[in-house]
Structure 1
């Protein structure tokens, strides 16, 4: 049985290398994050404009056009200053983590089960959110790069482990 383990192994190694680059070069990670965010906003803006000017959008036509124009302007601004885009993403993630942490802490006191786990997770999320919200831009981008790098490393390790397991299956 062919499993394609070699392709999975190569993919895992590439993902691990990207994780290492993200960890050891936070500047490049912040730049890439800002550029990817600007590309996503540009695509959204164009699609919103197309929807706004198409026959599919009768009721909210001007809202779609307005959202499309605003997204394209934001994409242009982020493209020429990608670090500002990456930092805005860090602030949003920080605010989300902080708010979720507060809700988890409140929920822990109201829950019958898993109180300790909910409380601990709430504290962790609140602290991480606070770090992102109140850190200076360089520290916040470095933290974002570390999170992205660790995530890619873990995924890469998983893929390499999966590839080696597929290799064993193929050989047996």
Structure 2
């Protein structure tokens, strides 16, 4: 198929390092299991990372603001950057409060994404695989409703659970990729 690549296209150097790819997968897998074993700690850790990213983004916005040639844009960039930095510091100072806000936004976002995906599935009705799109839309809405319905109590574990599950799937993917490289 034109335009597609496989793992072996990385060349012999990637194939020779298949063990490192598997090792990376194992690290991800273990990290995911640990995260699921302590979802509250994983939630706090994920909020901390969000806080770091927001603070860095805010600093970048402020730096960019100083490069603006007009005062109107200067103040807007500085304001945006300052808001990001403040939000980042709120995440640092009170990660559980930040997890409450992020969890509510996640739940609402999942509901909205599921509805939009359902509309897409309805438009694709009759096309191959449209039922799977509809199924994923329903699951996404259900997960979003469950998060919002249990909010704010769900804030203690939702983000950590999502992090753990993501790490486990990423780990499994890297392990599979490494084994495929070995067998290529």
> CA 1:46/1:130 → structure 2, altered by over 3 Å: closer, same or farther?
same
Contact 2:103 2:154 in 1 (8 A): no
Deviations 1:95-127 (A, max 9, x none): 111012222333444444345333322221111
SS at structure 2 position matched to 1:60:
helix
Work out whether 1:155 is the aligned partner of 2:167.
Answer: no
Structure 2 unmatched runs, 5+: 1-11
**Distance of 2:36 and 2:111 partners within structure 1:** 24
SS at structure 2 position matched to 1:54:
coil
> Following TM superposition, by how much is the alpha carbon of 1:44 offset from its aligned partner in structure 2, in angstroms?
0.8
Deviations 1:58-95 (A, max 9, x none): 66221111011111111111101112223322222211
Contact 2:21 2:175 in 1 (8 A): yes
Work out whether 1:101 is the aligned partner of 2:101.
Answer: no
> CA 1:116/1:164 → structure 2, altered by over 3 Å: closer, same or farther?
closer
TM normalised by structure 1 equals: 0.85
TM normalised by structure 2 equals: 0.80
> Following TM superposition, by how much is the alpha carbon of 1:139 offset from its aligned partner in structure 2, in angstroms?
2.7
| Residues paired across the two proteins, number | 169
Contact 2:107 2:144 in 1 (8 A): yes
Work out whether 1:82 is the aligned partner of 2:95.
Answer: yes
Q: 2:82 aligns with which of 44, 57, 69?
A: 69
Q: 1:43 aligns with which of 51, 56, 70?
A: 56
> CA 1:138/1:26 → structure 2, altered by over 3 Å: closer, same or farther?
farther
Q: 1:11 aligns with which of 20, 24, 29?
A: 24
Structure 1 unmatched runs, 5+: none
> CA 1:166/1:118 → structure 2, altered by over 3 Å: closer, same or farther?
closer
> Following TM superposition, by how much is the alpha carbon of 1:165 offset from its aligned partner in structure 2, in angstroms?
3.3
**Distance of 1:73 and 1:48 partners within structure 2:** 13
Structure 2 residue aligned with 1:28:
41
What root-mean-square deviation, in Å, do the aligned CA atoms of Structure 1 and Structure 2 show? 2.2
